[in-house]
A and B are shown apart, each in its own frame.
Chain A
Amino acid sequence: MATVDLIGIKKAFGPSVALADFSLSIASGELVCLLGPSGCGKTTALRILAGFERPDAGQVVVEGRDLSNDPPEKRQFGMVFQDYSLFPNMTARENIDFGLKVQKRPAAERTQIIDRMIEVTALQEHADKYPHQMSGGQKQRVALARAIATSPKVLLLDEPLSALDAKVRETLRDEIRRLQLEIGVTTVFVTHDQHEALAIADRVGVMSNGRLEQLAPPRELYENPANAFVASFIGTVNKMPAAGLDDGRWQVLGRAVPGSRPATGGSSDIAAIRPEQVAVDPAEDGPAVVESVSFLGPITRVIVDDEGHGRVFADIISADAAGLSPSQRVRLRLRDDVADVVLIGE
């Protein structure tokens, strides 16, 4: 287990800046997801951490030691790639054995580790198969077993689930987390899928334009986004005008509530309101019209066209949404259980 610190990393490819003063500290045994849209710099950060790219400035410190100038083969990291990158000329067992052979471990120890890896990744039936004889999910399990077999200081996962179908993705995602907790390896997981990140990470780092916008546990990220980008990138958000009141509270959707910062009378801001914080009341003289009603099982998503706020998303418990239908006139309000709102600036 190891602590990881990326300190003031800068990296540009020609005129394009991939990382601009990027810093990140990861505790020992922690799983951090780097999440962001394409081109935000998350893969570059991972490749710099792995040693495949050299930063223009900044340091990569692992267990207190500066590894910035060490090549990948000296870092003792394990890495899993998006396209599996299994060696086609080797069976699953031989692939797992590769790193152990490189480390010159004794044969008996290698066999023991390989057997354990095959067992924990449930590959018993596929151990002697070549990559072209396996499915995508099986291949990625071999890649994972291969990466952790060498007891790496840090495990790096570069969009490991992107090439898999939805069902396998979900199963393997949970397997990765189970294994990571079991062996306690410090892990960096790069993904563009927010559900994946929120489901397995201890902390999620949301990136945009080469910067870390916010690094926080999934719940905090969702409930207290640091800015408009994070708010709109994580989940769905309604950006509602908030009017400042003299008592320090904010007027949002007809209700006065405390905000993430106190208001001054006459000030204005934008509040990030999640769909589940919005209530939709049928009202014949209401200022809003239901655009669509989508049944999603336990909840129903209602899209409302509101005169003052434009398109508003509301997630309502399906039992309470039975009376709503498209073209119906309604009134929106903030749910009674919303204690405060997050302000994300103008």
Chain B
Amino acid sequence: MSVGVKRYRVGAILKYVFLVAVGAYFIVPMLAMARFAFQAVPMALLTPEKLFSGWSFSGLGTALTDPEILSAAKNSLMLVVLAIILNLVLLVPLAIVTEVRNPGLRPYLTAFTLLPWVIPPIALVVGVAATFRATVPWFLASIFSLVPFYALWAMPFTYRALDAGLQAINARTLYEAARSMGASLGTIIFKVLLPNMRASMVAASALTAAMVLGEFVFASLLLKRTLPTEMVNYQRGDPRGGLALALFVMVLTALAIGLVVRSLRRRGLNVQTTGL
């Protein structure tokens, strides 16, 4: 065997070793969680020999019919929709204008949109809540006060997805081509840029949805009832049912994102460049 062939084989084997290691790192805790959630077997007895005994989905069924969980899920879905709308309304025009009119600002905006992840959530909550309390206390009291926090928290994802989408369609040249044909800014945005940004907007929305459905800190600090906070409450009373519910939400979110990607690919839209 030549040295080249040997190196190639070692490389191929290493590739699979890393793939299996990364897969195991992700899947093993999920499997452990699934066994705990769906096997009616005391935790101390969850040995390999008991792998096929006592499986039951009754805990999940009970959790899914719990009125508190259903009401919290409704809140979370509403927050998903509102956070997506607020994010897109704020960031789509900003990303477009930056790309086509002031491309020199892109690096600064990229850095700026990372700020929500640099500032700890507790600092954000204290600062923003103080502002809301002083100006619009009724807003802080409502569940809707989470929307700006979620929009802000999802901003790094959303902006990057939109920016990648604009780069992928070469938005600046499209803008110039349309202008040279006499089109106004409105025509260019609504007839040329937005229709070609569908993939990145869907990607940005999916990422925002996934983030909102899993966010706990803001809701907990602001004492709001969302799916994650209610799941924690529920788990205190029924650990197995709570974990089953957490797994269910995670799988559901992953499936929803998978379906979105599939539908984008079917329409011939490029998803690799949108962060999904």
User: Could you tell me which A residues sit within 8 Å of B by CB distance?
Assistant: 50, 52, 71-79, 81, 83, 85, 87-89, 98-99, 102-103, 132, 143, 146-147, 150, 156
A52 and B170 contact, CB distance less than 8 A: no
CB neighbours (8 Å) of B126 from chain A are: none
The DSSP consensus for interface residues of chain A is mixed
CB neighbours (8 Å) of B187 from chain A are: 102
A74 CB to closest chain B CB, in angstroms?
8
Interface centre among A78, A89, A99, A156 (most CB of B within 10 A): A89
Q: Is B176 an interface residue (CB 8 A)?
A: yes
User: Could you tell me which B residues sit within 8 Å of A by CB distance?
Assistant: 169-170, 173-174, 176-184, 187, 191-192, 195-196, 268
CB < 8 Å: which of B173, B181, B195 contacts A89? B195
CB neighbours (8 Å) of A71 from chain B are: 179
The DSSP consensus for interface residues of chain B is helix
B176 and A79 contact, CB distance less than 8 A: yes
Closest to A77 in B: B180
**A83-B173, A85-B174, A85-B176 given; A99·B196 CB < 8 A:** no
B180 and A98 contact, CB distance less than 8 A: no
B174 and A87 contact, CB distance less than 8 A: yes
Interface centre among A72, A103, A156 (most CB of B within 10 A): A72
CB neighbours (8 Å) of A132 from chain B are: 268
A2-B131 Cα distance, complex, nearest whole Å: 61
A83 and B182 contact, CB distance less than 8 A: no
B176 and A76 contact, CB distance less than 8 A: no
**A52-B176, A88-B196, A102-B187 given; A83·B170 CB < 8 A:** yes
**What are 20 A-to-B residue pairs whose CB atoms are below 8 Å?**
A72-B176, A73-B179, A73-B184, A78-B180, A79-B176, A79-B180, A81-B173, A81-B177, A83-B170, A85-B173, A85-B177, A87-B178, A87-B192, A89-B195, A89-B196, A99-B181, A99-B182, A99-B183, A102-B181, A102-B183
A147 CB to closest chain B CB, in angstroms?
8
Closest to B181 in A: A99
CB neighbours (8 Å) of B192 from chain A are: 87, 89
CB neighbours (8 Å) of A73 from chain B are: 179-184
A102-B182 Cα distance, complex, nearest whole Å: 7
CB neighbours (8 Å) of B180 from chain A are: 50, 72-73, 75, 77-79, 147, 156
A131 CB to closest chain B CB, in angstroms?
11
Pick the 6 closest A-B CB pairs, nearest first.
Answer: A99-B181, A79-B180, A85-B177, A89-B195, A85-B173, A72-B179
CB neighbours (8 Å) of A52 from chain B are: 176, 179
A88-B196 Cα distance, complex, nearest whole Å: 7
Closest to B172 in A: A85
Interface centre among B182, B195, B196 (most CB of A within 10 A): B182
CB neighbours (8 Å) of A147 from chain B are: 180-181
